[in-house]
Structure 1
Amino acid sequence: MNRPIANDECRMMNDEVKTKALEFIVQRSAFIVSFLFLLIFTASVGLAQETMTPTVGASAPTPDEGAITGRVTSDDGRPMAGAAVHVIKAYASSPGADTTISTDDEGNFSTSGLAPGLYNVVAYVSGYVSPPAARTTTGETGFYRPGDNVNIRLVKGGVITGTVRDSNNEPVVAVMVRAIRVRDDSGRPISSLSTYYLFRMTDDRGIYRIYGLSPGTYIVSAGGSLGFSMGVSGYETDAPTYYPSSTRDTAAEVPVHAGDEATNIDIRYRGDHGHAISGTINSPASEQGLNYAINLTLKHASSGAIESNSFIMPGAKSTFAIQGVGDGTYDLTAQQISASASSAVSTPRRITVKGMDVTGVELILTPLGSIAGRATLEPAPRKEGCADPRPATLIETLISARTSEKSQTEAPSSLPFSQGGGSILTEQGEFTIRNLNTGAYRLTARLPADRWYIRSILLRSAPTTRSTSTAPSKSATAAAPSVIALKAGENFTGASLSISQDGATVRGRIEGTTKEGAEAAQIPANLKIFLVPAEKERAEDVLRYAEVKPDGNGQFTIKNLAPGRYLVIARPAAEDPSPDRTLPPLAWDADARAKLRHEAEAANVALELQPCQRVIDYVLKYPGVK
């Protein structure tokens, strides 16, 4: 039996645990400290807090309706004793709606008394990181509900270490050093949504050591402002010096692998004087000062990578100054962080810094949009095989708004302090998806039961949409769900979803076909399996299309399917452009949908699904690329 990782190896300081938890909540580690300020602010204005009783040293899990149980292990299968596990209510009304527990000697944990709903479950051990989060084809991370059992695997994080010395070869003491992740472990560029960096100060010898890094490619910088108060060190007004001794454009990249240490990443500190970007924030209350917090995000225009975040506390003047900015072209955005769930942002302002300060920048806040509506759950059919072993409720359902345009790269949840992009249904089935940028959106659902599926989406009369319905009809042609086109600050309120409870599930595997005298066709890493409605009248009903990527063993599961006849086809598909952003479903594009349907009709692999049917051993043959 493998030796469990001891408590003293896993024990973490409380501050570090909380910082890590907040990092997950906001989904961008670049905003950790700013979020701490937000936490203080929201507490001061009296936001309602959902509280749960923490359980320390949980015993072996015994699943029950009010508990989420599980086990935390290392990448080699050893149980991780003393790991901090955070169970966080998804889309909660405040950032404090979570509970923290510890694993026992066998790595087990168990919560109790959880209210119905959806939860994120994350585990932290100092120096360890989570593998890339599993994402569904609709783009959201995985959620759990009370009664689920969760297996969490952590891997040893990487390390970057070296020295910082000046031009006289003297150690630079107490300078902040950042490791900025620019590509993931698959080589995909990191978008601004998940710009990830950790930072440490050098010691009296000029040595730094940054640990707990996720696998990927990094650039390393010393000096400059992080954008939030970390105490005075004397280097905040310097332009950052990037490894080995350069500006960001010519910075050398450092590969980091799980459990490995990148050594001798030594920086020759340039000590270049940085510049300031200053200006005003224009809002209705700006003359009397800000009655809400403001987050300023400065991004590199070429890559979208975040250079700094500045945080302006409530009650401060509506002016700002960002120090320690090197020469370059940037985009600057201001975001309102108010006590309400709604937010406002400014249009990104393009700024070029070249040898001098930039003053007089005006950022005008405009409200973000929202989509509201209601979902109705149709009665469950009274027939054999349709009873769900774990009854689900509407409040365990997530409704999301996804951009429908492939060219629209700014996701609804790209703002650091917003609950944009999704909403949990109320007991009455109501939802409001807030903080949406201008753009075109489609609605998707994360359903809590395999037999649930979206039967129809109706968008009632609104000036920026066309009203169509996908309600099943044998005599009429089903139309595609409408796209909701939001303008700045627009609130759309006419969405209606109908959810049925007699859906089907297909579980199976894909195999390469074997030709006589030849090896079986290889399964490409970017292969996806598509279900296409066989009925001609369903050709434009995107709710009847489904897609899934098989795992490394060729296994796949497609659930929440409407009963009916389908055509099944496997084909290579475009890879997601970044780790935190999935491409829209192929069927959302009219031309791609027509091509997919043509290919499926040519392959002619039919699958008939009855109400509540569960196909558990389906085998799809893949002939390879012709």
Structure 2
Amino acid sequence: MNNKLSSSALRTLTLMAVVWAAALCASVAAQTTEGQADASQPSKTSPNSITGQVVTESGLPVTNATVLLSRLNSPAPARPVPAAADGTFVFAGLEPGVYSVTATAPSYVPVALDSRSAPAEFHYVGDSVKVTMVKGGVINGTVTDAEGEPVVAVRVRALMVHDANGQPGSSAGVVPVERTTDDRGIYRLYGLAPGAYVVSAGGRDSGGFGGAGGGGIAGGGGFRGGGGGRGGGGFGGGGFGGGFGSGGGGPATALYDRDAPTFAPSSTRDTAAEFIVSEGVEINNADIKYRGERGHAVGGTVKSSAASKGGYSFSIVTLARARHEGEVVSTTTTRGAAFTFYGVADGEYELSAQTSFGTGGAAVSHPLRVAVSGANVGGLVINTELLASVGGRVALEQANAPECKDKRQPRFEEILVSARREVKENSKEPPLPPQFASAAGAPGKDGSFLLDRLGPGQYRFDTSFSAKYWYVRSVTLPPAPAAKTPGKTQAINQASAARMIDAAREGVSLKFGSRVRDLVVTLAEGAASVRGQLAAGAEKTPAGLLVYLVPAEKDQGENVLRFFTAPVADDGSFTLGNLAPGLYWALVRTPGEREAQVESKLRTAEGREERASLRREGEEAKANVELKPCQNLVDYRLPFATTTPTNSPNSKP
């Protein structure tokens, strides 16, 4: 069986989840340690609230904003609240949990983040959140026919090719924006995120994507951390849902639904002009000479082996132009029902489907290549396969150290357990759309959790929480049942069975339909923290420095949960939290492409060489730090020089 997902299929499946995510506003945000949260509390009198402000990049309030709050693992819809005139907002009366904060405002869009490196964001009760938005760009123009007469009430859409960071529009999570022309044939598309676009008129709508446009959804700016600096952090959860609709438009736009799209200035997608949109800038006269060419039909059915288990199910079917970003349409069909796309131009396409079951499961198809050339294409069958899941529990281990007496214990519902697919360097593994490459969940009151809707691949786990004096001690799985081997003694068999798998380092390999259970995430009491400053002397501190804390004990050299990193602020300060007690070496490294690779591998099985190199460098630098249970080390001075490092001075506990 071919398990590959091509790049255009990746774009297709990603777009199918964009509106679902936007409708629920269920983005997940990066966590802060307890100490960091305390520093940002807006008021000691509102411990059951999340407060914040919606602002522009220059710090000015965004007026007419609506802020939405979603709780992880909750089936309840997002809770909206209008922001005040100064952009501030308050969500009061909240129960403990993991929350996301998003915002939408007419003609404003979220600040573009690089989803390949930017941490996900989430928040806790008591946090203060800053949501940053920018003024969207505008494209306007006129649609006329071959005689120069205005084409009235035709649907025009702006499709992002790539965003300001160079990411494809689909993986950047940007929803296509569309409107209809007025009685003069004039259109105006506003609220466009910065990036490159193509503009088309006519043809079937995007299956519910985009609507009238004019505003995106922005996530609240969270805090780095969780498990100490960049060592922790969580990732957005997987999933998709309904709300896409079959499209088709009203009586007026239906006149053009079966036409092949005409791209500006008057072409097919292959030769379409690209428009570079900047923040708050309007592009004028992006005119379209409408071709009025009839498109073709593409139809078939969706099948899934899981459908035979009974219960309601529906599928979202998407047709995407191969080798081109932006030309995507989708429709929804119930189990066993047929689907048909109209207005399809000649060319090569990829047909994909997602099936969602009433029982909570989900399935996804491999892409089906479809060639359209002068005729309709029918009788297609798309088969979907069940996605994988990982379940387990969080265990809490209390410390006996007197220094840790009466310290706050994490609540299960405030812990975030996340899984993210790892792609090895130079790997030929096919990419997965984000909603199938990661998942996140908060445990129930008994500590159990489930991460579902994961595609095939190798996954590693992260755990984030808001208790300052706790750390992640281990992430383990029981070994696979040992085969009975003649000649083995009972003691050897028992020893083999007792050897747990270090899932923190090794991760977990999943296939379609995998059901991994018994993952145990152990949090231990006694975490320490370090707040320090680079001792750079007269030298100017370079931007982008990273501080590493690596284990000095030999027996901890391959314990990936004992390696931590944090960025150095402009003033040379740094903070590391949720640290396991023990002896460490501290060192500083300058930024660079290689450093990004080191950081990404730090807690993976493939990072053995990088970890060994860091420990050797730390030993040579001789800047050691011994952390005791529940210790808060402050005013730590870490030597930094472009030449040979020197010993670290004593620091004040």
Whether 1:209 aligns to 2:188 is yes
Name the structure 1 match of 2:556.
Answer: 538
Shift of 1:101: 1.3
Name the structure 1 match of 2:650.
Answer: none
Deviations 1:163-220 (A, max 9, x none): 2222322222212222222222233444546243211111111111111222222222
Name the structure 2 match of 1:6.
Answer: none
Name the structure 2 match of 1:594.
Answer: 609
Question: Distance in 1 between the 2:298 and 2:52 partners?
Answer: 48
Percent sequence identity over matched residues? 35
| Equivalent residue runs for 1:226-625 within 5 Å | 226-227=206-207, 228-229=246-247, 230-232=249-251, 233=253, 234-283=255-304, 291-302=312-323, 307-312=328-333, 314=334, 317-379=336-398, 382-384=401-403, 392-406=410-424, 407=427, 408=429, 410-411=431-432, 413-414=434-435, 421-462=439-480, 481-507=505-531, 520=540, 522-523=542-543, 528-549=546-567, 556-564=574-582, 565-572=584-591, 574=593, 585-590=600-605, 592-595=607-610, 597-598=612-613, 601-602=616-617, 604-605=620-621, 606-608=623-625, 609-617=627-635, 621=640, 623=642
With over 3 angstroms needed to count, the CA separation of the structure-2 counterparts of 1:574 and 1:267, relative to structure 1, is farther
TM-score scaled by length of structure 1: 0.77
Question: Distance in 2 between the 1:200 and 1:586 partners?
Answer: 45
Paired residue type of 1:120: S
Deviations 1:562-608 (A, max 9, x none): 2231343424455999xxxx999322555544035325523644342
With over 3 angstroms needed to count, the CA separation of the structure-2 counterparts of 1:161 and 1:555, relative to structure 1, is farther
Deviations 1:435-485 (A, max 9, x none): 111111112112223433210111113479x999789xxxxxx89633211
For the Cα contact (< 8 Å) 1:158–1:215, is it kept in 2?
yes
Shift of 1:223: 1.9
Question: Distance in 2 between the 1:431 and 1:28 partners?
Answer: 27
Whether 1:129 aligns to 2:109 is yes
Stretches of structure 2 that go unaligned for 5 or more consecutive residues are 1-12, 26-41, 208-245, 483-495, 644-653
Question: Distance in 1 between the 2:574 and 2:20 partners?
Answer: 40
For the Cα contact (< 8 Å) 1:88–1:119, is it kept in 2?
yes
Paired residue type of 1:180: L
Name the structure 1 match of 2:487.
Answer: none
With over 3 angstroms needed to count, the CA separation of the structure-2 counterparts of 1:191 and 1:513, relative to structure 1, is farther
Shift of 1:310: 1.3
Name the structure 2 match of 1:156.
Answer: 135
For the Cα contact (< 8 Å) 2:160–2:195, is it kept in 1?
yes
Question: Distance in 2 between the 1:441 and 1:504 partners?
Answer: 28
Shift of 1:274: 2.3
Deviations 1:241-277 (A, max 9, x none): 2222333233222222222212222222223332322
Task: Compare relative contact order (CA 8 Å, sep 6+) and give the higher one, 1 or 2.
Answer: 2
SS for the counterpart of 1:146 is: coil
Which stretch of structure 1 is more off in the superposition, 172-181 or 73-82?
73-82
Whether 1:179 aligns to 2:166 is no
Question: Distance in 2 between the 1:576 and 1:212 partners?
Answer: 37
For the Cα contact (< 8 Å) 1:528–1:573, is it kept in 2?
no
For the Cα contact (< 8 Å) 2:348–2:372, is it kept in 1?
yes
For the Cα contact (< 8 Å) 2:506–2:604, is it kept in 1?
no
How many pairs are equivalent? 553
Paired residue type of 2:331: S
Question: Distance in 2 between the 1:459 and 1:276 partners?
Answer: 50
Question: Distance in 1 between the 2:296 and 2:275 partners?
Answer: 27
SS for the counterpart of 2:630 is: coil
SS for the counterpart of 2:48 is: coil
RMSD: 3.9
For the Cα contact (< 8 Å) 2:479–2:500, is it kept in 1?
no
Shift of 1:119: 0.8
Which stretch of structure 1 is more off in the superposition, 438-447 or 241-250?
241-250
Deviations 1:465-515 (A, max 9, x none): x999789xxxxxx89633211121110112111111322334456698877
With over 3 angstroms needed to count, the CA separation of the structure-2 counterparts of 1:521 and 1:469, relative to structure 1, is farther
Which stretch of structure 1 is more off in the superposition, 107-116 or 613-622?
613-622
SS for the counterpart of 2:435 is: coil
Name the structure 2 match of 1:52.
Answer: none
With over 3 angstroms needed to count, the CA separation of the structure-2 counterparts of 1:469 and 1:381, relative to structure 1, is farther
Question: Distance in 2 between the 1:247 and 1:576 partners?
Answer: 43
With over 3 angstroms needed to count, the CA separation of the structure-2 counterparts of 1:195 and 1:322, relative to structure 1, is farther
Question: Distance in 2 between the 1:507 and 1:271 partners?
Answer: 66
Question: Distance in 1 between the 2:176 and 2:294 partners?
Answer: 23
Shift of 1:285: 8.5
SS for the counterpart of 2:300 is: strand
SS for the counterpart of 1:194 is: coil
With over 3 angstroms needed to count, the CA separation of the structure-2 counterparts of 1:178 and 1:567, relative to structure 1, is same
TM-score scaled by length of structure 2: 0.74
Shift of 1:337: 2.1
Shift of 1:30: 7.2
